[in-house]
Amino acid sequence: MQTITLTSKRRAAPNLFVLEFTRPEGWSFEAGQFARIGLPVEGADPLMRAYSVASAPEENVLRFLVTRVEGGALSPRLTDLEPGETALLDGAAEGNLLPRRIPGGETLWFFATGSGLSPFLSMLRSKSLWEDRKDVVLVLSVRNFEDAAVARELVDTAFPGEFTLVVSTTREEEDGRRGDLSGRIPALLESGELEAHVGKRITPEASRVLLCGNPDFITATRAVFKARGIVSPRFGKPGQLVAENFW
């Protein structure tokens, strides 16, 4: 267990905070992995939770997106921290949402819901991602237009370079405002609307797919891709898709 110090806190949305901590010397991770961070509890074991790292391996800080859940055990305490105060970092980085697990392909597709965006922010900032990829498409599903604006700002801050960002909203505003598309990702894939918008087909030969989000999203989206022959690597057999639950 190591101590990390909060160096920066920014409120990106009413419930969403961007927290930056010092990075302990020698603590390494790959873009896409998560860390277990938390706080001490008097008279009990520390309270720890897994959060995907949103900073790149090349950076000397650890950045996390933390959704504040009122009444939650940890997130209110984490987001109440002020710069100079400390938290705990437990063990090594973990997780298998790694592009290197699915080599090949011409286009890398990232699909995320909500705070599942975090590991993809890390990847976008990572130099290794851009060494052998021709195209990157990030597809993010959020609730409404305000959430879409927040997501765009977070992505632009992470990496203002050349890639395709598609934000889909699941709820349309009364005034008609919405994201680039409207609807949930599995339905947009089945209808062909997403690929028509991007101008690319997702195929086993040309595409590699990474999913991060709530379990229902992962299950439904996996099923759509399985029908196309896009599956996860298993027992030494190569695949085209990796996924991680995040909620």
pTM: 0.89
Q: What are phi and psi of 52, to 5 degrees?
A: -65, 140
User: What are the residue boundaries of the structural domains of the chain, listed by start?
Assistant: 2-94, 99-245
pLDDT tens, the chain, 247 aa long: 899 999 999 988 888 889 999 999 999 999 999 999 999 998 888 999 999 999 999 999 999 999 888 988 999 999 999 999 999 999 899 999 999 999 888 899 999 988 788 999 899 888 887 777 678 999 988 876 567 667 677 776 666 567 888 988 887 665 656 667 888 999 999 999 999 999 999 999 999 999 999 999 999 999 999 999 999 998 888 899 999 987 6
- Pick left, alpha or beta for residue 65 (phi over 0 → left; psi -120 to 50 → alpha; otherwise beta): beta
- Which architecture characterizes domain 2-94 according to CATH? Beta Barrel (2.40)
246: DSSP letter: -
The correct CATH number of 99-245 out of 3.40.50.80, 3.90.950.20, 2.40.128.110, 2.60.40.10 is 3.40.50.80
Rounded Cα–Cα distance for residues 172 and 162 (Å)? 28
